[in-house]
Amino acid sequence: MALGMLQSGRLLYDSLMPIFQSIKFRLIGLGILIIVAGIGLRLFFALPFAQGLLRDEVAAQQLSIASYIARDIDHSVQARQALIAELSSALPPALLQQPEKLAIWLEERQRVNPLFNSGLLVVRPDGDGLLAEYPTVAGRSELVFSEVGWFQSALQADTPVMGRPQRGRASGEPILIMAAPVRNAARQVVAVLAGVVALNTPGFLDRLQETQLGVSGGFLLVSPADKLFVGASDPAMVLKPTPPVGVNLLHDRAMAGYRGTGITINAKGIEELSAMVTVPSTGWFVVARMPTAEVFHPINAMLGFYLKNTLLIVAGMIAIMLLLLPRTLRPLTDAAHAMREMADGKRQLAPLPIRRQDEVGSLVLGFNYLVERLRDKEMALKESEARMAFMAHHDALTGLCNRAMLEDRLQQAMARAQRDGGHFALLFCDLDDFKPINDEYGHEAGDAILRQVAARLQDGRRSTDTVARLGGDEFVILLTDLNDTRNAAVGVAQQLLAAIGIPFNIAGTIFELSASIGIALYCGGGISTSQLMSQADIAMYQAKRAGKNEFFVFDETLEPFRI
């Protein structure tokens, strides 16, 4: 019995040995081994490498976007601080004894430069109520401010102070208060002038609160000193306290002063890629965040595609070697050799020639298909990067330059003018009565009009000029390299008013619009880009006060006047 089993085993071994020692088996085994090893090495090395590259690219883009938002917020805060300082120094102390005239004085300033859209307040020096306010808010004049932090700080400060972001005691809306002392000739504090701005004011924090990154990413604006979320893409997080120490390690580092990028687990247990940028004038910082699942989605999708196609290729190779090895051995060897050279970088990745219409040809065809798909993925990634770069400097709706690009062009124009003694002009254009169109006909009609307005503003402009959209219905035109600056700017303003005055046909509906244009001229001298923008903005509001469909040129020695 034992001898019979031994003989049977010997016969089985003798019958299988030729198969194990055959070149077919060895080639099949070698091919499988090479493919499995190649997949393992690529998964072990290439996948983390690709994820790292994608992470760094997305992190750099997030950092760029966060920096732009931080600069925009910083500019808005500084503009309001400068305004409250200017108003406090310009307020005549004699008006403090005349509440009605004081209220009129506040109303006039508010209409000229309405940066504090929730009102201007003049608080008594003891903090017990108001001397005047504009506009009037029910219950606000009866509030006591003596124990409020920003009021106490303003009494001791020589420069504007900013209060803790909070909900208004009278309105209940999220607000920010900036204040400055009003002093008499003896430098005694006789009142405190305060400006109130709603956090969701257009041009302040509304973009941060309305913008998302990807599908579920977004932005946060954090005040480390107050341990508070000042703004967020998620409205439910506004004015909420920041998470305790230990919940989010990257957040803890940011609260301690770290600025840059990193990956962390948020309070909801979701892994995120975040970028932190400081808002210099406030001590706040902006966080741009996106779930890593969205960041690495292209890599994961490509990995699945790669694995599926690799399995198909392996199956095809085995079938070819088992059925048609004697006939196809040589072409298969040549193809495998070429593929290994491409994988090792010794040969350029390119489609292989198909010499035979059989399984080897199918294998080569599958490889060529994979090469084309990889090229398509690469081209799509480059196009995506180009789109992101374009979006970072252009307005998504009209394709015009955005605020960041305008500031860069304006700084270049000023540097060139200071170097060469040249002149340029800045035109601030605001559409008159545009909001009712959005309210009555919807944002689609409003967006269509804005795109046509952008085209009309660009029509006739030189290659050296810049047309930008700041947001909403506000546009800025930068005219450089001018000989007769004033006449050239006036001529362009007249042309723009005439162009915008042509009726707009939107889906069969005719709209008639006009615009108010403020002109600021740069003819040399110590003036900053922000001051030049402010001059153009002031002149534009003067045009609106004059009845709209007007243009005004700002003169720093006089009130803005129309040519």
514 CA to centre of own chain: 30
C-alpha distance from residue 153 to each of 78, 131, 147, 184, 385 (Å) = 18, 19, 10, 18, 47
Torsion-angle region of 345 (φ positive above 0: left; ψ -120 to 50: alpha; else: beta): left
C-alpha distance from residue 303 to each of 31, 35, 307, 339, 345 (Å) = 21, 15, 6, 19, 20
The DSSP letter of residue 94 is: G
Q: Which residues lie across from 128 on neighbouring strands?
A: 144
3-state class of 63 per DSSP?
Answer: helix
- HEC per residue, 349-404: CCCCCCCCCCHHHHHHHHHHHHHHHHHHHHHHHHHHHHHHHHHHHECCCCCCECHH
Which of 126, 473, 484, 555 is catalytic? The answer is: 473
User: What φ, ψ does residue 35 adopt, rounded to 5°?
Assistant: -65, -45
User: What φ, ψ does residue 335 adopt, rounded to 5°?
Assistant: -65, -45
What is the CB neighbour count within 10 angstroms for residue 113? 16
Examine the residue annotation and report whether 473 is marked as an active-site residue of this protein. Answer: yes
User: What φ, ψ does residue 75 adopt, rounded to 5°?
Assistant: -65, -40
154/149 Cα distance (integer angstroms): 9
Cα angle 146-147-152, degrees, rounded to a multiple of 5: 75
Mind telling me the catalytic residues?
473
